[in-house]
Structure 1
Amino acid sequence: MAHIRVWNAMKAFDPDLKPYITTDLKFQTPHAYWSDSYRSSITLMNKGIEREYNKISNILTAVDLSCNKFTGEIPESFGSLGVLQLLNLFNNVLTGQIPSSLGNLRQLESLDLSQNKLSGVIPQQLAAQLTFLAFFNVSCNLLSGRIPQGPQFRTFDSSSFISNSRLCGFPLPNNCMTVGSPTDDVHDNDEDEDDSNDNNLPSGFDPILAGVVSGLVVGIVMGNILMDKHTWAIDGIVQNFGGTQKNRRRQKRQNIRN
């Protein structure tokens, strides 16, 4: 954006400026002269809160482009605005990565990039170099990777990072996985757990289990063969078993009578 390159008032502080921004009016006729000045007002989203400034300080340097339909990537040239205190790009359709050049904005106190379609990681430069940052919001994007840590970043809660499904690390509850995606790691852990359960069987148990199963199968097969070809043997076993049971019942009755 060529316009950003000529925003010289946001690149260095001019000590000769008046305390507040004013607008001068002059009116002159052949017979009269009149002049006056008034202070401008503005409404800005500052640190996540909509604020109305009845007078605008010349010390305050802010860029608020929120709630538009801007597309494309965030220009690297934003990083040249050395005295910028507030940058709000909330609720646009911005894509690409967060420029690492934003780490050059050492005076920045509020940075809102939420509700866009930004991807990639959060640059480490933001956590390491923005020591005055009091408000930070990158929620509702497509960011990924580990959240960088720094003096100011440790003060932000999870609401600054939510709705980025592949973002991980403090202050979000999901831990970062060292290999693969979190979903893949979950599946891998499940498979490893199943394997470990299988390996927890006592040593020597596998041959015993195989022998029991084999014996059971052979017994069922032999039983079917005997029942099909030697029914007389089965009948004899049943009769002998039945006779034995009858003899035991008779013996009990005699004992009771005696």
Structure 2
Amino acid sequence: YPRIDWRVVPSAKPNHKSWEQPEVKAVLGQKIATWFCQGALEWVDPRLPKPVIIEPKGAVPKKGPDKYRDIADAREGNKSLADWGVRMHTWQELADALTPCAVVWGHDLKDGYHIAVLSGCTGELVWGWGVTGLRVVYPEDPEFDHEVTEDGQLAGNRDPQVRFVFGWRLHVGCWPWDCCQTCDKACNGMEFDGCCCRWAVAHFGQKTAGSPLNCVVLCLLRHGAMRGPAKGERRGASRRSLLG
């Protein structure tokens, strides 16, 4: 990341009200669990320092079976990042900047921003303790958390519960226990339902500086603006191209 400064005073803002809806948590909780298993999110032990900036979580409606899109308000963290200076206007310029096999295409780019991995303290793969999978806990298991009513009686909830499985796994650059607290992974994180975690990738709210998604999106925006500028604007100098 082209970091221009480092925030010294921590920032911890509350999550947006849109995240506190039970239906939202039920839908997006599955996706967040997937990010933990993939390594996009790293669990931070309560005994360790929290990320410098705790980003507020939220959710917005979206089309499709998921119904909601998970968002994180990264405006505080973005103040410390410089704008990406590369400017591309056509697909040809994008292609000229790539080497053979530089981009791997997939059928679904809904999580494309997660391929911009943060390098951590060392930029190398290191072993650390983290989430390695999920397991289901049923009502007859001793670990099942039974809901208790106001009068002290057990509620009738019998739905299976999901638990994280922890173990040794590879991390990029560092993991929370050996982090020097001066890398990008130590800068931004989230806190929800008693769980604190930090980002190991550039998520949708951050300036995706240098990421393939940033390159493709800006290229498309500028190409479209050159072909169809707004009324009163010259071709190729539209505000929609982010150049005006």
TM-score by length of 2: 0.18
Q: Which has the larger radius of gyration?
A: 1
- Higher RCO (CA < 8 A, seq sep 6+): 2
Q: Select the structure that is richer in helix.
A: 1
